[in-house]
Structure 1
Amino acid sequence: MTISTARRPTTYLAVLVVLGLSHLLNDLMQSLIPAAYPILKDAYALDFVQIGLITMTFQIAGSLLQPVVGMVTDRHPAPYSPVVGMMFTLSGLVSLAFAHGYATILVSVALIGIGSSIFHPEATRMARYAAGGRQGLAQGIFQVGGQAGGALGPIFAALIIVPWGQPSLALFAVAALVAMMLLAWIGSRQREISAAFAAHRAGTGTRGDTARHAPRTIAIGLVSLTLLMFAKNAYAESFRSFYTFYLMDRFGLSIPSAQVMLFVFLLAAAVGVLIGGIVGDRIGRARIIWISVLGPLPLTLILPYADLFWTGVLTVLINLIMASAFASILIYAMDLLPNRIGLIGGLFYGLNFGLGGVAAALLGVLAESYGIEAVYRICSFLPLAGLLAWFLPRLAEDRAEGPPH
């Protein structure tokens, strides 16, 4: 009876849903920063270099600190640290709402970035512990919240920030307060959930203090996953940063129409991460990574030559498939380093954040030099990086094996 219970660990679905909701609120507040750029640019006569520095400040604060926070919380679990992170986000958002100078804007976005850095590692750990035997579902729910929050940012900006101006950013402090209450409840459940997770590991004979993979296996796996993440993010960033310009330049769409298509694109990502997580539980992480990164290649090659209707259809399909990779990449990395969940969460969420900024900068140079349409012709070959999945080591934790090596 004990063995049976150990083999069927409890999935704390309510905790996972609340984690997903808190992730939605966190990423919604983050997405308000670029949404406010037009207002800030006009109000403070900023040039594009200064706008770029705002982005860089936010991304550095939101990416470089995450692995550090993860390493600390691996050694000293801090169930309420996401609440502290939300305090930073709250202070940064209110500061940005009433900023009266460029320096204050930089400090404000840095505070929001720090808040995100503190939030992700421990929240990722809780999603891992609360998953039971359904890791893909857990990461899918957690990540769909973040993707949905990022997609809602432009909509809220259009409805509230643009009509009401910079001070209206302070209204979103309510989102931070709600997130703090949700995260405090989750923190109160951590001891119970951690104990259940530890009991399951003991019941299945898994030693929590022993590395299960050789250093070479871990290194090859993490390097391969990082390169796959960069290729995926570079393609996705071509849409987040330049899709509206592409639609207006090539098809003559108005700004609102282009923003609606961008919202649909971002919404497809939210659906994709959830589907990818669920399917990954059934067919294995390696297979999902192969399908999601390499699979869209025929569609991406067609996209630069499609008309407006098929551009909309193809972009949704591409992002739906490509977004499904993230849950599997994250879980695969956790299986490589099962005792460093905070570090992996911080590294890959921070990496996801930081690589997006690098990709945006590189694509901006390409767009400036060769035109916006050239960006999509060049990026159409990025899914070929999916071939790197060949180098991923086989893991016993991956129940279904991918293509033969």
Structure 2
Amino acid sequence: MWISPYKYVLSLGHLCSDINQSILSAVLPFLIATYHYDYTTATMLVTVSNVFGAFVQPFIGMLSDKKNKLLHMTLGVLLASGGMAVTGFISNFFGLCIAVIISGIGVAMFHPQAAKLVNSVSSKNAKGKGMSIFSFGGKVGFTLGQVYTAFLMNLFGMKGTILFLIPGIVFGIVCSFFNKDFENLDVLEVEKKEKVKSEQKDD
């Protein structure tokens, strides 16, 4: 029996996106030790990332509702990974704030379009299952971030942050094989909703 891969691709994207949120928290002790920041200053990086990510997410969601923007998923994960990848090369606090803001915005860009597609690819009687598979990827990513950061820091030092790009690149490559399918699925979902609205007006 053929199993649709779409939910699992989106779950992988969720993993590659949310791993960066975990990485940010995990990299703080290394930033403190390397650049001699105090704990309050270091934790401000998490606050800045979350605030900016939360602020832009509703606008990205509204844009996603108005027009199909599959690029938001891939670009979002790449920005999330890229922002974290440069943290080991920036000692200036303002520069670090810019890097984590870019990462936070990237995470925010991924979620609305991905969540919409999860709903589209899940059958009517398996919406909960589809969302559970999607959420599972995010939880795994958040868990792996701590281990991944410790491994890279111990092996390469702060310059190892450049390898935070790997999850973003992996998802970008995988998603490129499914972009056309996702685009068609999203178009079909929009057409189906428009048809339902038209039928309701006729009634």
State the TM-score bracket (shorter-chain normalisation): 0.7 to 0.9
- Percent identity, aligned pairs only, is 22
Structure 2: how far apart are the matches of 1:99 and 1:167? 10
Query: How far apart are residue 30 of structure 1 and its match?
Result: 2.4
Structure 1 segments of 4+ aligned residues over 6 angstroms from their partners: none
Q: Deviations over 1:67-95 (max 9, x none)?
A: 11001111122122212213322431232
User: Which of the pair has more CA radius of gyration?
Assistant: 1
Structure 1: how far apart are the matches of 2:27 and 2:187? 43
Q: TM-score, normalised by structure 1?
A: 0.46
How well do the aligned residues superpose, as a CA RMSD in angstroms? 2.3
Q: Which letter does structure 2 place at the counterpart of 1:91? A: G
Structure 1: how far apart are the matches of 2:73 and 2:103? 13
Structure 1: how far apart are the matches of 2:82 and 2:183? 29
2:128 corresponding residue in structure 1: 136
Mind listing any 5+ residue stretches in structure 1 that lack a counterpart?
A: 1-10, 211-405
Q: Does 1:31 align with 2:59?
A: no
1:77 is paired with a residue whose SS is coil
Q: TM-score, normalised by structure 2?
A: 0.87
1:170 corresponding residue in structure 2: 162
Q: Which letter does structure 2 place at the counterpart of 1:206? A: V
2:28/2:43 contact within 8 Å kept: no
1:78 corresponding residue in structure 2: 69
- Kindly tell me: are residues 63 and 164 of structure 1, through their superposed partners in 2, closer, same or farther at Cα, counting changes over 3 Å? same
Task: Pick one of 169, 190, 197 that aligns with 1:207.
Answer: 197
The aligned length equals 198
Q: Which letter does structure 2 place at the counterpart of 1:50? A: T
Structure 2: how far apart are the matches of 1:196 and 1:79? 14
Query: How far apart are residue 98 of structure 1 and its match?
Result: 1.1
Q: Deviations over 1:123-176 (max 9, x none)?
A: 111111111221101111111000010011112223222443211111121211
2:171 corresponding residue in structure 1: 179
2:76/2:110 contact within 8 Å kept: yes
- Kindly tell me: are residues 75 and 199 of structure 1, through their superposed partners in 2, closer, same or farther at Cα, counting changes over 3 Å? closer
Mind listing any 5+ residue stretches in structure 2 that lack a counterpart?
A: none
1:110-125 matches, within 5 Å, as 110-125=101-116
Structure 1: how far apart are the matches of 2:26 and 2:75? 25
1:262 corresponding residue in structure 2: none
2:5 is paired with a residue whose SS is helix
1:333-372 matches, within 5 Å, as none
Moved more, 32-41 or 80-89: 80-89
1:3-152 matches, within 5 Å, as 13-133=4-124, 134-152=126-144
